[in-house]
Amino acid sequence: MSNGRIGHGSSHPGYELAMLIPRAEIQRRVAALARRIHRIYDNQPLVVIGVMSGALFFLSDLLRRLEQPLQVELVTLRSYRGKSTKPSKIQWIHRMQADVAGKHVLLVDDILDSGQTLATVLRTIRRQKPLSCRTCVLLRKERAEKPKVEADWIGFPIADVFVVGYGLDFDGLYRNIPDIAVLQQK
């Protein structure tokens, strides 16, 4: 992982970005995760549920690499509000519409922090009695307190820092950066 400074046109006053994971490393890891997931499910149909909006880029890249028949479902929850860098109470914006009873389900999210987002969505999925339900996250924060749930597949463990890029945002900005960067106050 790199720790050089990166610039980006849509910056936030008082903050700077420090490179954490470059785009090439992200793409290699996404490809490796897709291979591992495919080995588990082989060619069995799979319902992939993505948590928006943070998982948008990760989900898209992962889906293009999975080889089995897929149904894609999106849910939207919010735990960070505005300029906050700490999660708050989960708020559903868009709930799951698919019937996943008796199906294999893969839940994809951008980052595992406290685990409250994954735990919330998993409760909803498990009420429908899927055949199986596994989780995949791009990032997992290494924190002193354990998350409410663990992910089955993790792209990268990271320090307990606030990150942006590759779908992750701060106050609506930085999602379109193709790398993952630490957002630091100047």
**The predicted structure's pLDDT at residue 14:** 80
- Report yes or no on 106 lying in a domain: yes
Q: Quote the CA–CA distance of 141 and 162 in Å, as a whole number.
A: 9
- Report yes or no on 166 lying in a domain: yes
Full domain range(s) for residue 84: 27-185
- Known catalytic membership, residue 152: no
- Report yes or no on 16 lying in a domain: no
The radius of gyration computed from the CA coordinates of the chain, to the nearest angstrom, equals 16
90-107 pLDDT, tens digit each: 765 656 778 999 999 999
**The predicted structure's pLDDT at residue 3:** 44
**The predicted structure's pLDDT at residue 1:** 41
- Report yes or no on 57 lying in a domain: yes
- Report yes or no on 51 lying in a domain: yes
CB 12 within 8 A of CB 181: no
56 burial class (0-12, 13-18, 19+ CB within 10 angstroms)? middle
pLDDT at 21 > cutoff 60:
yes
- Report yes or no on 109 lying in a domain: yes
What total of structural domains would you count in the chain?
A: 1
Q: Quote the CA–CA distance of 10 and 99 in Å, as a whole number.
A: 39
pTM above 0.85, yes or no: yes
**The predicted structure's pLDDT at residue 78:** 74
- Report yes or no on 159 lying in a domain: yes
Residues 6+ apart with CB under 8 A from 158: 20, 21, 139, 140, 141, 142
- Report yes or no on 19 lying in a domain: no
49-59 pLDDT, tens digit each: 999 889 999 99
Q: Which of these is catalytic: 61, 109, 110, 113?
A: 113
Q: Which residue has the tokens 């089995």?
A: 68
CB 47 within 8 A of CB 106: yes
Looking up residue 33, the CATH number of its domain turns out to be: 3.40.50.2020
Residue scoring higher pLDDT (10 or 53) = 53
Q: Quote the CA–CA distance of 119 and 10 in Å, as a whole number.
A: 33
Residue scoring higher pLDDT (116 or 25) = 25
